[in-house]
Structure 1
Amino acid sequence: MNSPTIELSQDLAMIRVKSRKEARHRRHLRVRKKVNGTPDRPRLCVCFTGRHIYAQLIDDTAGRTLASVMTTEKELAEQPLRPNQASAAVVGRILAERALAKNIRQVVFDRGGYRYHGKVKALADAARAAGLVF
């Protein structure tokens, strides 16, 4: 027979604590149920790591990336870009310029499970200021 303390400890071992990454991923899936990119109105997807910022315009119907900007690009590597609000604004402005060059004016914003605050808001505001319509 098992004692009650052993059963209790086994039950506690089965409880899984979610990491911040897993929680963000679940929020992103919840957002993606509602947000879908089309050729006329692609999805502007953002991603932040500890060192870099990535933004893409994605046509989900064809499964293609129409335009992208990342802080790892050669032309942006010359500037000391960090994953902060100022760098996010630069990335948003450059992405909007590339989108307008391809005649893309309207986008759907996918915040990627992040809160619409700080870097995410700075990137979105810079893209809007450069001419994109959300």
Structure 2
Amino acid sequence: MKNKKSRKIFGKPNRPRVSVFRSNKGIYAQIIDDVSRKTLVSSSSREKIFSKKSRKTKIELSNEVGKLLGQKIKKLKIKKLIFDKGKYLYHGRIKSLADGIRESGLEF
């Protein structure tokens, strides 16, 4: 019997996968088409839009990254996604990123 953790999440052509990576200093997310094995769009807290002058918490910054990613993916006319949180628990910055993506009108 397989472990839950050993299962791999795989996106479909009509529902690409959102892959998330979190470090101590930033958060990174990308939309991946698993069938063609290409990254469609990506967004991170290291982009120039999010300057160091803005005094936001990591959770607020994660929400902004999610909103930016949602705006980018809307231009590709995709409305449904599969959320791959990887090894991270669904709370804190990961949840805030997901909420930001949902606020831009996309579904998981």
Give the TM interval when normalised to the shorter protein.
Answer: 0.7 to 0.9
Task: Give, as a single letter, the amino acid of the residue that structure 1 aligns with 2:48.
Answer: K
Report if the CA contact (8 A) 1:56-1:68 is conserved: yes
Residue matched to 1:88: 62
- Equivalent position amino acid for 1:100 in 2: K
Equivalent residue number for residue 114 of structure 1? 88
Normalising by structure 2, we get a TM-score of 0.86
Contact 1:85-1:119 within 8 A present in 2 as well: yes
Gaps of 5+ in 1: 1-26
Judging changes above 3 Å, is the alpha-carbon distance between structure 1 residues 78 and 101 closer, same or farther for their aligned structure 2 residues? farther
Cα pair 1:51 1:83 within 8 Å, conserved: no
TM-score (norm 1): 0.70
Which one has a bigger Cα radius of gyration? 1
- Alpha-carbon distance, 1:83 to partner: 7.2
CA contact (8 A) 1:71 1:81 kept: no
| Amino acid of the structure 2 residue aligned with 1:88 | S
RMSD between aligned alpha carbons? 2.0
State the alpha-carbon separation in 1 of the partners of residues 55 and 27 from structure 2: 9
CA-to-aligned-CA distance 1:19-62 (integer Å, 9 cap, x gap): xxxxxxxx8x635x2x1112210001111111111000001111
State the identity %.
Answer: 36
Q: How many residues align?
A: 105
Matches within 5 A, 1:8-19: none
Looking at structure 1, the residues matched to 57 and 86 of structure 2 have their Cα atoms a distance apart, in angstroms, of: 15
Moved over 2 A (4+): 74-83
Which secondary structure state, in structure 2, belongs to the residue aligned with residue 109 of structure 1? strand
Q: Where do 1:115-130 residues align within 5 Å?
A: 115-130=89-104
Match of 1:53 in 2: 27
Unaligned runs of 5+ in 2: none
Quote the Cα distance in structure 2 between the aligned partners of 1:58 and 1:81.
31
Query: Which residue number in structure 1 is paired with residue 6 of structure 2?
Result: 30
Q: Judging changes above 3 Å, is the alpha-carbon distance between structure 1 residues 71 and 79 closer, same or farther for their aligned structure 2 residues?
A: farther
Secondary structure in structure 2 of the residue aligned to 1:76: coil
